[in-house]
Amino acid sequence: MTIEIMETGTDYLTISINIPNYYSSTISGELTSGYAISFAGSSSSVTGTLYKKDAQLKLTGNAKRFHYKVDSLVIERVVSFETLKAVNE
């Protein structure tokens, strides 16, 4: 599993999640409040929390891929994740 977080503007992130042969999604959005992440597109979403403590970032959350069929939401894949990254301060 690969998770890439790119800061593309002030309080604006792009998150790419890739699990070969199972799940792949790239979605962008604005931090909703402090460290809460909730991005939704037309076929995928990412929700989570980004924590910073000392020299580490921790991202936990869920990613979903879905589609609409008539008036129903059909969830195709759900991925839960937790990742740590050392950062330079």
Neighbours of 31 (CB within 10 A): 16
In this structure, are residues 66 and 88 in contact, taking their beta carbons and an 8 Å threshold? Answer: no
pLDDT of residue 89: 55
Can you give the residue range of the structural domain that contains 17?
Answer: 2-86
pLDDT tens digit string along 15-66? 888 999 988 888 888 777 667 888 888 888 888 888 877 778 788 999 999 9
Please say if the pLDDT value at position 67 is more than 60: yes
Q: Token digits for 37?
A: 């992440």
- Predicted structure pTM score: 0.74
Q: Is the dihedral of CA 9, 27, 38, 59 positive or negative?
A: negative
| Nearest alpha carbon to residue 44 among 61, 28, 32 | 28
Q: Summarize the confidence of residues 57-76 as an average pLDDT.
A: 90
Q: How many domains does the chain have?
A: 1
For the record, the structure tokens of 26 come out as: 């790239």
